[in-house]
Structure 1
Amino acid sequence: MRLEGKVAIITGSASGIGRGMALALAKEGAHVAIVDVNEEMGKKTLAEINQHTEGMLFISDISKRENVEYVVSEVVKKRGKLDILINNAHASKQASFIETNQEMFDLSFGTGFYPTFNFMQVAYPELKKSKGKVINFASGAGLNGQPTQTSYAAAKEAIRGISRVAANEWGPEGINVNIISPIALTGGVEQWKKDSPELYDAMINNIPLRKLGDPEEDIGRVAVFLSSSDADYVTGQTIMVDGGSIKLR
């Protein structure tokens, strides 16, 4: 129960990596607010969380700042504080560099970068009170410049940039800001494995540990660490949770 009594907001947490982190934090005692657009999956995840702690569910379009403000205010109103903010939500479309257009940038920045920025800015007063933790998400697509991921890579690297700025500015106030860059076996990846087994096997063979991470046991446990007092002296870092695929220098 390393996070007993802590209050967390996790965006994009109805399924996939977000769900894994929500369950991992709840099992350590955190009260988790799920923020997602998928009501059906959100309710299922909330039921799982409620087996361990009392959660909250917000079906919300967080591309709008007023919705971000509403979520933060409601969580604080009900729980009295905010200790942990995890910005995981992100949507994008793949296209070659030449074919990438403004609509694709608007989607990627509108669902990933701007919600991350807005949640950090809106939550800052509460995080300052609690000396809280912020976890944002990067991707190997940005770090390695993966083909067909122009808009996604740009938004992810922008998130890394503002995370480092916040880590420097907020560090004196006791707020930790870190980034996770994961590889995990989600529902979408499982479908891709069925559709393109040769490409999937090639990807696995490029991972030193020869497997994809589990959203709860692998990614979620690192999120628990970064959310806990064990990580009080860690800030501004990009943590690669990718089986050794990328080794930062």
Structure 2
Amino acid sequence: MARLSGKTALVTGGGQGVGRGIALALAAEGAAVVITGRTEGKLKDTAGEITERGGRAYTVVGDVGERDDVDRMVAETVREFGGLDVLVNNAQSSVQRKLVETSYEDVELTYRSGPLAAFHAMQAALPHLRESCGSVVNLGSSAAVQGEATFAAYAMAKEAIRGLSRVAAREWGPYGIRVNVICPAALSPAAEEYFAAYPERAEGVLAGIPLGRMGDPETDIGRAVVALVSDDMAYLTGATLMLEGGRTLIG
């Protein structure tokens, strides 16, 4: 029997890249998957892949930066599949500028689409996660862990997500809810475009990964999320997993 049979998962930003890979992997292990995002065509494409493989998928168009949209995403998930077991907060807008050039608007955008979106989704999902003793996976970034140059607004947002996750892990542990963070390095469409534009930087990135390659969104990142939300890792909460092939080593 698939590890997630009978479970329902909500993945924000599931129409492409890492979110898509996570959605596909969750569905492959038996979960009914709701994917959300702002672009309907991409959501439909991912949902189509899931159904073609024999899985169950549902799409909700919306902006995680809007509280009403987030509440609707959770409500439609529960209405469609009867509950919620797994919440993956993947959606995040990114701004890359030098610190001195970073504006208030840049910070506001990354916070609204990142930690505030995760905060709103977690609050909306809590009653349902309590019923299911569910699991939350939030996405962080090594750009924040390492303090990479030109990522000021993005790093601020991603570290806020890690702080939120640790607090939730402590407060929600008594309900049987686990909250963890992953920091992935995967060959998403955005990464492919970046490497194509800056091939010399691609070489530098790969040289810094002990395993010598970028991760695959589904098989490397998605399947790790499957393990994380399954009973196989039922005793892990409040953790940050660096899914980067060894690029970032933290103690």
Matched, 1:235 2:232: no
SS at match of 2:164: helix
From 110, 113, 120, give the equivalent of 1:111. 113
Q: Given the two structures, how large is their TM-score scaled by the length of structure 1?
A: 0.98
How far apart are 1:204 and its partner, in Å? 0.3
From 72, 78, 91, give the equivalent of 2:74. 72
The residue identity in structure 2 corresponding to 1:159 is I
Stretches of structure 1 lacking an aligned partner (at least 5 in a row): none
How far apart are 1:215 and its partner, in Å? 0.2
Deviations along 1:60-83, whole A, 9 cap, x unmatched? 012111111111111111211100
Find runs of 4+ consecutive structure 1 residues off by over 4 angstroms.
none
Aligned sequence identity (%): 45
From 168, 171, 174, give the equivalent of 2:173. 171
- How many angstroms apart in 2 are the aligned matches of 1:203 and 1:78? 42
Partner of 2:5: 4
- How many angstroms apart in 2 are the aligned matches of 1:58 and 1:45? 12
How far apart are 1:198 and its partner, in Å? 1.0
The residue identity in structure 1 corresponding to 2:25 is A
SS at match of 1:203: helix
Matched, 1:97 2:88: no
SS at match of 2:101: coil
Aligned residue runs from structure 1 range 54-69, under 5 A: 54-69=56-71
Matched, 1:214 2:221: no
Aligned residue runs from structure 1 range 1-249, under 5 A: 1-51=2-52, 52-249=54-251
RMSD: 0.8
Deviations along 1:99-157, whole A, 9 cap, x unmatched? 11110011100111111000001100100000000000110111000101000000000
How far apart are 1:40 and its partner, in Å? 1.3
Deviations along 1:77-98, whole A, 9 cap, x unmatched? 1211100000000012111111
- How many angstroms apart in 1 are the aligned matches of 2:144 and 2:223? 23
- How many angstroms apart in 2 are the aligned matches of 1:62 and 1:181? 20
Deviations along 1:186-226, whole A, 9 cap, x unmatched? 11111222221111011100111110000000000110011
How far apart are 1:241 and its partner, in Å? 0.3
Higher mean alpha-carbon deviation, 144-153 vs 183-192, is at: 183-192
